[in-house]
Structure 1
Amino acid sequence: MNDTRTTTSHEVIRRWAEQRGARPATLPGSEYDGRLGVLRFDFPGYGGAVLRTVDWDEWFATFDARRLHFRYQEQRPDGTPSNFNRLEQPDR
Structure 2
Amino acid sequence: MSAESRTTTNHEEIRKWAESRGGHPARVRGTGSKPEEDPGLLRIDFPGYSGKDSLEEISWDEFFDKFEENKLALLYQDKTAKGEDSRFNKLVSRDKH
- Indicate whether the TM-score tops 0.5: yes
Secondary structure of the residue aligned to 1:91 is helix
Partner of 2:44: 41
Gaps of 5+ in 1: none
Partner of 2:61: 57
Superposed CA deviations along residues 45-82 of structure 1, whole A, max 9, x for unmatched, are: 02122210000000000001111011100000100111
1:78 to 82, 87, 96: 82
Gaps of 5+ in 2: none
Q: C-alpha distance in 2, partners of 1:88/1:32?
A: 21
Q: C-alpha distance in 2, partners of 1:68/1:49?
A: 24
Equivalences, count: 92
TM-score by length of 1: 0.92
Runs of 4+ in structure 1 over 4 Å off: none
Amino acid aligned to 2:10: S
